[in-house]
């Protein structure tokens, strides 16, 4: 079934000139980029996106990092878009992510792991609301 997911290229990857190569990985699957915008997140958007991690030791660093510079926000759609994109991204820690995945090929550390992707269709709806809705 066709569904939407929220994908975001994180500040490290934007700053180091990897936008084009990362977008190509998503396009190569045949999934469709429905919306795309270069933007710097507000603290409110960052906190809403990462609410599940509040209180964890890495939380403040994560918020500071994700608001530190421009990101590329995208809505990507197609059959099983959430799972297809998560597979393409690789596991959270780039050092453990398989070669051929975006995190495996473009990242090195957990705190700058190149890309964000929704973990379920419900998360996708929530995140699309945060980043393409009224919260700023
Ligand atoms: P995910 O991005 O693969 O869904 P989550 O567990 O939801 O991973 O964590 C959200 C983000 O928080 C990760 O992408 C990563 O940037 C950061 N993060 C998660 N765990 C750690 C950690 O142990 N140290 C530093 N950063 C972390
Ligand atoms: Mg997550």
CA nearest neighbour of 105 among 6, 10, 28, 21: 21
Atom 6 (ligand 1) nearest CA: 92
Is residue 58 lining ligand 1, measured as CB closer than 6 Å?
yes
Residue 135 has pLDDT above 70, yes or no: no
Mean residue pLDDT across the chain: 97
58-65: Cβ within 8 A, 24+ apart = 58/110, 58/111, 61/111, 62/111, 65/10, 65/11, 65/111, 65/112
Atom 8 (ligand 1) nearest CA: 92
Name the helix (H) or strand (E) containing 48: helix 43-49
Mean pLDDT of 67-82: 98
pTM confidence score: 0.97
Residue pLDDT, tens place only, 77-127: 999 999 999 999 999 999 999 999 999 999 999 999 999 999 999 999 999
Residue 38 has pLDDT above 70, yes or no: yes
């Amino acid at each position: 079934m066709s569904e939407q997911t929220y994908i975001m290229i994180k500040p490290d990857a934007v700053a180091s000139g990897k936008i084009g190569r990362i977008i190509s990985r998503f396009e190569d699957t045949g999934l469709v980029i429905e919306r795309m915008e270069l933007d710097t997140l507000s603290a409110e958007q960052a906190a809403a996106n990462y609410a599940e991690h509040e209180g964890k030791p890495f939380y403040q660093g994560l918020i500071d990092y994700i608001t530190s510079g421009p990101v590329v926000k995208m809505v990507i759609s197609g059959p099983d878009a959430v799972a297809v994109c998560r597979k393409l991204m690789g596991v959270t820690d780039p050092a453990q992510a398989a070669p051929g995945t975006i995190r495996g090929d473009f990242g090195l550390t957990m705190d700058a792991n190149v890309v964000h992707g929704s973990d379920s269709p419900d998360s996708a709806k929530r995140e699309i609301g945060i980043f393409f809705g009224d919260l700023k």
